[in-house]
Structure 1
Amino acid sequence: MAGGPKKCWPLIGFSLICLKMVASAKTAPEIPTIDQAYSKISNSITVEWTTVPGATSYLLTAEDGDTVIETMVANSPGTVRGLKAATLYQITIRSISATGKSQPSPPKQAKTVLAAPILEVSSPSPDSILVQWEAVYMAIAFSVSIMRANGLGRIWKENTTNISLTFTSLEAGTLYTIKAYAWNANGIPGDDSICNQRTSPRAPANIQVSFDSGALRASVSWAPTEGAFNYTVMALSDSSELSCHTSLSACTISSLQCGTEYLISVLASNDAGSSKSTSAEALKTVACAPGRVTIREDPPGHLSVAWSNVDLGDYYVVFVKSDDGLEVHCNTSLTQCNFLSQCGFTYFISVFAYNKAGQSPLGDVFNYTTAPCCPTDINPVLVSSDRVEIVWSPVRGAELYETTAVDGFTVVECNDTAPACTLSALECDTKYDITVYSFSEARGRNMSCTSRFITTAPCSPEIKNVSKDAFSTINVHWRSTNNDATYTVTAQGEMGLFWCSSTGQSCAMAGLPCGSVFSITAVAETQAGRSLPSYSVPLETVPCCPAGLTVTQVTQSVINVSWTIGTGAQTYVTVLESHTGQSKCLTHQTQCLLGCISCGVNYTVALQAISATGLTADCTYQSYSSSACCPLGVKLYRLGPNGIRIHWQAPRGSANYSTDLYGSKGIFTCAPSAGLSFCDVTKIPCGDVYTVMVSPIAETGLKLTFCPKKIYSVTCSGSTLGMVETSFAKRRKYFFNYCMREFGISYIALSLNPQEQFCFLTSKVDEFLLMETPVRGRTTAPADSTLTAQPRSRSGRESPCSRACRHRRARPVSGGRATELLSPW
């Protein structure tokens, strides 16, 4: 290394000589002279020289044999930096101007001072500071001084050859300034090393500890300590260590453990370190919540609460709060408490331990639900043969009701949340042991509920037979297995309701109306209730006989029987019976015509009313006497100019008759005396055609009008229109023609021959009687003459219907001068 620089020195000198020779022509600056060179800082040397005219700057060079350091400065003094401490340097200087650079000055030696010691300071105690440093090159001693950083107070200075020094009797928590430097063998001090150090604080005093049992935390406070930046509170137990840090004079330690004893201490600290811990304060926390809590209800209505013992617990309090808000508690130093309880309640149970620190934390809250209450007011609202519906008041604590009905080995159940139950599929007339159990999810079924007996309604009877006796009494027979039952049989129909009752197996009903349809049912009844009605059995009573029956003579051999409607009857059979025979008819109507009736005969009248199903009612009525027979041989005889005798032949039996003559001039009636067969009519106008009817009188006084009528012409005596005399000995035969009714007829023409006609007004063409009239004065008609009846129109012209007429021979009538003309067919 040395050789290197040394070899360079000649080359460097040759260059300088050359430069000088070149610059001589330009006047290079003068070479400065170093006045002195010294070192005040271990990494620099300061050089002083005489100023060179014309120089604008100077180049300082420091060489220690290994390195060369150059520094450009403007004027004297100048300092070369970046040097090594305690090192000998050869210093040269050159002046520089615009014309060039001068030659180096003669060298001058200077040595840098010692380096400053590197201090390590600490405060091992509140009243001392320990200063330590490493050895300094070329140092033989050290000088260390200390004073308060604020400049107040005295300065302590110590010289030592050691590399550490302790200053004592200092003020705690105070900031000090420490200055240290090294000496070399020449007594020249080196660089200063200055640092600040604060003494550690003293331990805090007047410590106060308060405990929050609810939050399990401790609040610690103390008097502030001089120079303390921060404080640390320590809580130590056998199993844990807790702390809190603060710059204030109070701190809270959280998360303390229950049932634990802690030692509380406070440390003050600053940048120098921490104080010693204060004398610890003892803190006992609250006891932990008791564990292993057991709750029993034995017997029902009594709760027993037990728990395990806990550390630091002086006594215990158990709180029991029911779900209705009522709360009770007990204090004890033992580990068990007893309480009264009620059914259907949920109790919330908490156990706390207490000591001087307060109440233990809240542990588990236990809820205990007692068995639900049992229903007590079980009422059957419906009891039938196979079903029982019961209701009860809701009970406390019941979430579900389980109802059972037990009959021997048969069990019927129903479960429901509602306070009602319908037990179905039961046996009729059976006694059941019914229990309603209350159920809760927490406690299950309350097995202490009592039962009650309920008997189902009786079984429905079964009608086996319905019969009717000779007195129209309905007898109903049934079969049933009920005990002590009363049976009611009803007949329901359109005519109303009829019933009978019995405790046996039959009963009778009378007075059911005829012609009705009934539904027969039977019901059993016991103290338990009524059974369902039996299956109905239809019953039809015989039809009612018609209330009224009327017999009316229509003709001599035909009568009309009519009657009122018989309720329930659909068909009627009418029978008239006498010694002469029987007349019968079958009809759906309420009347019937019976023929072949003999006149003047007494008949028995019977009627059968028959229903649609064939039930028959035999109805009897009063006997009926048919009308008297119509008289025979009705004849007319003249009695003087204005009198007529009507004569007839009375048939068998005695009867009264009435005679009526109908003419254009009036109606004439006569009634003969009893037993006579003729009747005289006086003051009858002649010259008219009369319709003659002889009628028998019925027992009721009514005149029967079904006998045949005859027409006679009565002439006036002494007139040209005299009565024709007929000689019956000659047995003359007369004919008359009857025209069919093809036109409205106003006149009838009579003639002895087709050329001679006499017209007579008449209102009937069905049947009529004609008195013979004289034809042109002749009183006797020729044997070959005929009576012709021809229709004529109202205009008098002959109608063409004469060819349609048919002939009927007249029969001579004996006696008198009257001639009978037979009625037409």
Structure 2
Amino acid sequence: MAELDCDTNTMSVNWTQTTGSDEYMAWAISTDGHRASCNSTSNHCSIHGLRCGRIYEVAVTSSSIDCDVIAGSDYKVQSAPCKAENATAELNCSSNVMMVKWQEGSTAQNYTVRAASASGVNSTCDATGSGCSFLDLSCGQLYTFSVTGYTNVCVSDMSHVVETHTAPCPPISVSADLNCTTRKALIGWTKASAAVVTAYSALATSSAGHNASCSDMGTSCDLDQLVCGQRYSVVVQAIHAGCPGPASAPVTFSTEPCVPMNVSVEYNVSVARVMWSPAEGAASYSVRAVANSGSVVACTTNTTSCFLRGLLCSQVYNIAVTAMNQACGDVVSDISPLKTAPCPPTNIQTSLSCDQLAATVSWQQSGLAVGYVAYFDNQSGHYASCTGTDTETSCAVRGLACGSIYRVWVKALGEQYNSTDSSVVSLTSVPCPPHSIEASMDCQVRSTATASWQPGAGAVSYAAVLTSPSGHVTSCSTNATSCQLSALDCDEEYNVTVKALGEACNSTAHMAGHLITGRERWAFTVPQRSPSD
């Protein structure tokens, strides 16, 4: 049998002596070919010079046996384990995994790595090769690592001690606060209690792949160059001696919405529809229109259009769209100006030119008007209009139909939009002259005569006048279509005239021929003439 002294790596071999032998030799032969031996005349000896970490086959020969070659035996003994050499410790900073490595002396032994922290926390790791990983070491601690080889019988000397820090502990209570004015996010954190840290680094990543980072030696830093309309997830890592430790638990924050673009306005009278392209990150929108007079109109929506109602006429509105979300509510588009339609002209007044069947309409100017159009409509198919420039306050029309009541209104013209119609006023044109005038008399009956006619449209009343060459004049008035004239002279040739009297103007018609007094009845009919005073 053979026994190993672990301290000296010496093998003691014992055997049973054979008859006639007076000298023995004990052999230890390793699997890699190394041999060591000892001689004895008794039944035991000790073999020195064994190599560590080897498995030796043990054989004993005697002088009575002529044996030149010793090939080994089935009796095996493992030598003392080798000491681990050149031990190192390598840290994976982000995972806090420590890999301890050494130079392997033999494959025929196992190893134990011991880790001891300065705070008294110990851990071990077993390996059959030349390295072993610690997965759960405490963060932010100074550890010492030592490696010991062992077999099922012996333990080697401990390797030289390796001392190193584990990864710094991740910060806690991480927060993110966006400043809507500066568009920066303040990232704050609290140092871990066991932190051995030289700096901190914050990294923010958006769902669209945008990244931003900042670092500081304190407990906060500002993230800038953030992209609008994004939701970021931010983590903070503690750094010690160039080693960034595990990341903190992530926190999320949203940046301000992007600026609304492509703002357009559709306007009709007092209502404007404002439209825009969707702004990334916006939850809702506010549209605000401010007039040069100070008037404000607004609307809100979560779509991409909104109606502004109650806009005033003759105003220049500055329209802006504001995008809002939970983070910020002050992202404003470029200004879109809107000139509303001019206000309808006021103080509409009309006047007639009686002898020309013409009329003039006047008005009070409207702000932002570039011109005016006045309309005349007698509702019987006759229509007329006239125009004025932005500096004019009246215009005239000719060729009005006699005996008509015209509706008159004015519209102000704008650069892009026109006003609604002004209030409507009525204008009564010159009455049409009477026609088919007849006159008759009887000198024996009080020297009287009767004048009759067919009515003229638009006449309020009539006046019939008889004039003789000698200068004698007589007349009668009525609102009917005939009247009696008295005190006529006999043997005169009277001219017969009938006037149609209107609200503002009159028209006159003459009977063809004359009325001769003192004779039988004469009747004459005249065609219609142009109106005159």
Which TM-score tier does this pair reach, normalised by the shorter chain? 0.5 to 0.7
Q: What pairs with 1:94-493 in structure 2 (closer than 5 Å)? A: 296=5, 299-300=8-9, 312-327=20-35, 329=37, 336=45, 338-355=47-64, 358=66, 366-376=75-85, 380=90, 382-384=92-94, 387-390=97-100, 396-408=106-118, 409-417=120-128, 420-441=131-152, 443-469=153-179, 470-481=181-192, 482-493=195-206
Change over 3 Å in CA distance of 1:298–1:311 after alignment to 2: farther
Q: Over residues 384-411 of structure 1, what are the superposed CA-to-partner deviations in whole Å (9 max), with x where a residue is unaligned? A: 5554345667652445433322114322
Q: What pairs with 1:28-39 in structure 2 (closer than 5 Å)? A: none
For 2:134, give the aligned amino acid: L
Contact 2:430 2:506 in 1 (8 A): no
Alpha-carbon deviation of 1:328? 5.1
Change over 3 Å in CA distance of 1:338–1:550 after alignment to 2: same
Alpha-carbon deviation of 1:464? 4.4
Alpha-carbon deviation of 1:323? 1.4
Change over 3 Å in CA distance of 1:815–1:341 after alignment to 2: farther
1:596 to 307, 310, 316: 310
Change over 3 Å in CA distance of 1:380–1:635 after alignment to 2: same
Q: Over residues 31-85 of structure 1, what are the superposed CA-to-partner deviations in whole Å (9 max), with x where a residue is unaligned? A: xxxxxxxxxxxxxxxxxxxxxxxxxxxxxxxxxxxxxxxxxxxxxxxxxxxxxxx
Q: Over residues 652-704 of structure 1, what are the superposed CA-to-partner deviations in whole Å (9 max), with x where a residue is unaligned? A: 4363126599xxxxxx9997444024568999xxxxxxx99966454xx42x1
Change over 3 Å in CA distance of 1:710–1:465 after alignment to 2: closer
In 2, the alpha carbon distance for the partners of 1:380 and 1:815 equals 116
RMSD: 5.1
Q: What pairs with 1:750-789 in structure 2 (closer than 5 Å)? A: 780=457
Whether 1:499 aligns to 2:210 is no
> Secondary structure at the residue paired with 2:256?
coil
In 2, the alpha carbon distance for the partners of 1:674 and 1:379 equals 91
Contact 1:693 1:707 in 2 (8 A): no
> Secondary structure at the residue paired with 2:260?
coil
Alpha-carbon deviation of 1:544? 3.4
In 1, the alpha carbon distance for the partners of 2:272 and 2:359 equals 31
Whether 1:584 aligns to 2:273 is no
In 2, the alpha carbon distance for the partners of 1:816 and 1:435 equals 131
Q: What pairs with 1:535-554 in structure 2 (closer than 5 Å)? A: 535-554=249-268
Alpha-carbon deviation of 1:330? 5.8
Using the size of structure 2 for normalisation, the TM-score is: 0.62
Alpha-carbon deviation of 1:425? 2.9
In 1, the alpha carbon distance for the partners of 2:112 and 2:393 equals 106
> Secondary structure at the residue paired with 2:314?
coil
Question: Identity percentage over the alignment?
Answer: 20
- 1:562 corresponds in structure 2 to 275
Contact 1:544 1:569 in 2 (8 A): yes
- Structure 2 residue runs of 5 or longer lacking an equivalent are 376-383, 400-406, 433-453, 461-501, 508-533
For 1:571, give the aligned amino acid: S
In 1, the alpha carbon distance for the partners of 2:336 and 2:271 equals 19
Alpha-carbon deviation of 1:528? 7.2
Contact 2:28 2:37 in 1 (8 A): yes
In 1, the alpha carbon distance for the partners of 2:217 and 2:88 equals 31
Alpha-carbon deviation of 1:345? 0.8
Contact 1:297 1:304 in 2 (8 A): no
Alpha-carbon deviation of 1:307? 7.1
In 1, the alpha carbon distance for the partners of 2:506 and 2:459 equals 20
- 2:286 corresponds in structure 1 to 573
Q: Over residues 509-558 of structure 1, what are the superposed CA-to-partner deviations in whole Å (9 max), with x where a residue is unaligned? A: 22323333222221123347432221222222333342354444310x33
Aligned length: 422
Contact 1:563 1:591 in 2 (8 A): yes
Whether 1:617 aligns to 2:330 is yes
Contact 1:544 1:617 in 2 (8 A): no
Higher-strand-fraction structure: 2
> Secondary structure at the residue paired with 1:572?
strand
Alpha-carbon deviation of 1:507? 0.8
Q: Over residues 253-281 of structure 1, what are the superposed CA-to-partner deviations in whole Å (9 max), with x where a residue is unaligned? A: xxxxxxxxxxxxxxxxxxxxxxxxxxxxx
In 1, the alpha carbon distance for the partners of 2:345 and 2:144 equals 96
Contact 1:456 1:529 in 2 (8 A): no
Q: Over residues 311-361 of structure 1, what are the superposed CA-to-partner deviations in whole Å (9 max), with x where a residue is unaligned? A: 643433333211124445566768746542222211122222214x7579x
Alpha-carbon deviation of 1:648? 5.3
- Structure 1 residue runs of 5 or longer lacking an equivalent are 1-291, 662-667, 684-690, 712-723, 729-776, 784-811, 818-825
Change over 3 Å in CA distance of 1:309–1:608 after alignment to 2: same
In 1, the alpha carbon distance for the partners of 2:206 and 2:397 equals 65
Contact 1:381 1:391 in 2 (8 A): no
> Secondary structure at the residue paired with 2:63?
strand
Alpha-carbon deviation of 1:427? 0.8
- 1:217 corresponds in structure 2 to none
- 2:529 corresponds in structure 1 to none
> Secondary structure at the residue paired with 1:484?
coil
Contact 1:487 1:504 in 2 (8 A): yes
In 2, the alpha carbon distance for the partners of 1:692 and 1:550 equals 36
Whether 1:524 aligns to 2:238 is yes
In 1, the alpha carbon distance for the partners of 2:84 and 2:504 equals 119
Whether 1:651 aligns to 2:365 is yes
- 2:511 corresponds in structure 1 to none
Change over 3 Å in CA distance of 1:515–1:295 after alignment to 2: closer
Q: Over residues 701-749 of structure 1, what are the superposed CA-to-partner deviations in whole Å (9 max), with x where a residue is unaligned? A: 42x14534999xxxxxxxxxxxx95549xxxxxxxxxxxxxxxxxxxxx
Change over 3 Å in CA distance of 1:595–1:518 after alignment to 2: same
In 1, the alpha carbon distance for the partners of 2:506 and 2:299 equals 47
Alpha-carbon deviation of 1:475? 1.7
In 1, the alpha carbon distance for the partners of 2:35 and 2:398 equals 134
Greater relative contact order structure (CA < 8 Å, 6+ sep): 2
Q: What pairs with 1:626-645 in structure 2 (closer than 5 Å)? A: 626-632=340-346
Alpha-carbon deviation of 1:457? 1.3
> Secondary structure at the residue paired with 1:531?
strand
Query: Which structure has the greater CA radius of gyration?
Result: 1
Change over 3 Å in CA distance of 1:693–1:592 after alignment to 2: farther
> Secondary structure at the residue paired with 2:261?
coil
Change over 3 Å in CA distance of 1:526–1:671 after alignment to 2: farther
Q: Over residues 730-769 of structure 1, what are the superposed CA-to-partner deviations in whole Å (9 max), with x where a residue is unaligned? A: xxxxxxxxxxxxxxxxxxxxxxxxxxxxxxxxxxxxxxxx
Contact 1:692 1:709 in 2 (8 A): no
In 1, the alpha carbon distance for the partners of 2:358 and 2:12 equals 140
> Secondary structure at the residue paired with 1:616?
coil
In 1, the alpha carbon distance for the partners of 2:205 and 2:504 equals 76
